[in-house]
């Protein structure tokens, strides 16, 4: 194992985290809040840790600068853990979140863009904390884009070879031959789209702080808000529509956005089977929920029902988790449909969580081919998505991902239920954490939070957030003894 390479990566991550913490410290200074000291102190600590890690790494004999697959997996997991730990410290030091378990949960929820919170009164928080929670979303969202487009395809994680494409999601060609160059271009695109959303929200009479922080959360498909009632607190059709559109946009692969916005090539996005299925699911579920709400007399008109149904469908499908209504009080059919959406998620290469639409599409087409082989045993027909044939190894990786995903969800649910949590709360809490949703049902519904759950339950859910966000394989590959030989 090339130890110097790993230590250098971790050292740089500490430096980057220190920079983000200083941004939150500046917000605290701007609003004359004492918590800025805790952010500055944590940033200084992160820089010290960075120096120590670099010094320790430099003691090892020099090796190749190109990391192996093992270093790639280990660097990804340890980097995320390091960033989450650094993000938890200011919450804990300031006393705003006295329990370190809760502070870690809140930080993990932020950087994994889950949006689940243990806080009851969000509006009572200092601006520095509010900013940090949303900045964590934004940084985590960009990290996931780079991870899914530039890094995991190289590691062949769970069929992620599909997700690095410039066009349809099948080719393994990258946006750039170097990960650093790819990351820079994606950062530029991500920042530009964020700025565009900020300007649109300002046009809807949202103040600058709320506009910036909600833009951070929307592009990252994270669910943290500066208001207790989430986006519903603004009671603005314009703001809800703008955020809904950008949630849906953020749920589409950023490699396709790059082709469209930077190169002016709109054909890959229009022709993408994954995008068409993704938007089709949104329309279908929106209409089904709207109709149910009207039939059950929850809303007086189709217009008001469509408004809340479309927003909540987009929020759950893209795993953003924003809310404009307490959907836990909706008819059972609506609640079941939203839970089903929690599993799907957005497109691969986007900031959305979930199993990804492309995986679902591959499994559906693979099942169709297998059914035909029952009738025609000698049939040789590859699974095709758009213009490309999917390799059998990729299909096997995707099927393996689903098995591991289901197994992890079942085990995590059992552990949560063992802490005394009721069935509805336990199941939806795990599903929410695994898929980066935010709210669930029952005690973790839109009108509640995760604060009353037992500490053991919070640690299980924190692990679920990290495992689910890192595509499961990335974490579990570290467990076998062979990895460390």
Does the predicted model carry a pTM greater than 0.75?
A: yes
1-4: list long-range contacts, CB under 8 Å, 24+ apart: 1/68, 1/70, 1/71, 1/74, 2/63, 2/64, 2/66, 2/67, 2/68, 2/71, 3/57, 3/60, 3/63, 4/57, 4/58, 4/60, 4/62, 4/63
Q: Which residue has the tokens 């120096």?
A: 51
pLDDT-derived band at 384 (thresholds 50, 70, 90) equals confident
Closest CA to 165 of 280, 252, 264, 278: 252
More confident residue, 118 or 4: 118
Q: What is the mean pLDDT of the chain?
A: 88
Percent share of the chain, pLDDT over 90: 67
Structure tokens at 43: 């940033």
Q: What is the pLDDT of residues 283-333, one digit of tens each?
A: 999 999 999 999 988 788 899 999 999 999 999 999 999 999 999 999 999
Q: Where are the domains of the chain?
A: 1-98, 126-403
Question: Confidence class of residue 56 from pLDDT cuts 50, 70 and 90?
Answer: confident
Looking at residue 69, what is its pLDDT?
76
303, with CB counted inside 10 A (0-12, 13-18, 19+), is exposed
Condensed to tens digits (0 to 9), the pLDDT of residues 153-179 reads 655 555 455 444 332 233 334 444 456
> Smallest Cα–Cα separation from 346: which of 243, 477, 239, 219?
219
Task: Write the pLDDT tens digit of every residue in 187-235.
Answer: 889 999 999 999 999 999 999 999 999 999 999 999 899 999 999 999 9
Q: What average pLDDT does range 425-453 have in this prediction?
A: 95
Q: Does the pLDDT at position 470 exceed 80? A: yes
pLDDT at 449: 94
Query: Has residue 435 got a pLDDT over 70?
Result: yes
């Amino acid at each position: 194992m090339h130890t110097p390479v790993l230590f250098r990566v971790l050292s740089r991550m500490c430096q980057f985290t220190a920079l983000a913490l200083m941004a939150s410290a500046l917000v605290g200074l701007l609003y004359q809040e004492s918590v800025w000291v805790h952010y500055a102190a944590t940033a200084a600590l992160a820089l010290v840790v960075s120096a120590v890690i670099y010094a320790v790494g430099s003691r090892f004999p020099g090796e190749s600068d190109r990391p192996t697959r093992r270093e790639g997996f280990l660097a990804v997991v340890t980097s995320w853990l390091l960033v989450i730990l650094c993000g938890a410290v200011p919450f804990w030091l300031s006393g705003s979140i006295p329990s370190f378990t809760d502070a870690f949960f809140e930080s993990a929820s932020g950087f994994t863009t889950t949006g689940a919170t243990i806080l009851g009164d969000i509006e009572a928080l200092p601006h520095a904390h509010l900013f940090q929670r949303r900045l964590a979303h934004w940084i985590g969202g960009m990290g996931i884009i780079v991870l899914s487009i530039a890094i995991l395809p190289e590691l062949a994680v769970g069929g992620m070879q599909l997700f690095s494409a410039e066009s349809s999601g099948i080719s393994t060609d990258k946006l750039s031959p170097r990960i650093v160059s790819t990351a820079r271009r994606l950062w530029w695109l991500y920042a530009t789209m964020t700025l565009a959303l900020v300007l649109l929200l300002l046009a809807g009479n949202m103040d600058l702080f709320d506009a910036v922080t909600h833009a951070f959360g929307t592009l990252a498909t994270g669910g943290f808000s500066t208001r207790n009632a989430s986006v519903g607190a603004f009671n603005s059709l314009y703001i809800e529509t703008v955020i809904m559109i950008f949630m849906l946009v953020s749920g589409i692969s950023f490699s396709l956005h790059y082709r469209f916005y930077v190169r002016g090539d709109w054909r890959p996005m229009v022709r993408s089977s994954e995008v068409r299925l993704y938007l089709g699911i949104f329309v279908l579920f929106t209409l089904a929920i709207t109709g149910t709400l009207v039939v059950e007399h929850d809303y007086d008109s189709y217009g008001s029902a469509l408004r809340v149904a479309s927003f909540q469908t987009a929020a759950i499908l893209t795993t953003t988790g924003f809310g404009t209504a307490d959907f836990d009080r909706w008819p059972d059919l609506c609640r079941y449909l939203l839970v089903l959406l929690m599993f799907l998620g957005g497109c691969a290469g986007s900031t959305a969580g979930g199993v990804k639409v492309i995986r679902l599409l591959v499994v559906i087409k693979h099942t169709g081919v297998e059914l035909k082989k029952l009738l025609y045993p000698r049939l040789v027909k590859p699974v095709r998505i758009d213009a490309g044939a999917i390799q059998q190894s990729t299909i096997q990786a995707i099927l393996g991902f689903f098995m591991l995903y289901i197994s992890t969800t079942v085990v995590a649910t059992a552990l949560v239920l063992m802490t005394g949590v009721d069935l509805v709360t336990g199941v939806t809490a795990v599903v929410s954490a695994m898929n980066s949703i935010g709210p669930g049902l029952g005690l973790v519904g839109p009108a509640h939070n995760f604060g009353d759950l037992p500490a053991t339950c919070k640690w299980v859910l924190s692990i679920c957030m990290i495992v689910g966000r890192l595509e499961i394989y990335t974490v579990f590959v570290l467990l076998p003894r062979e990895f460390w030989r």
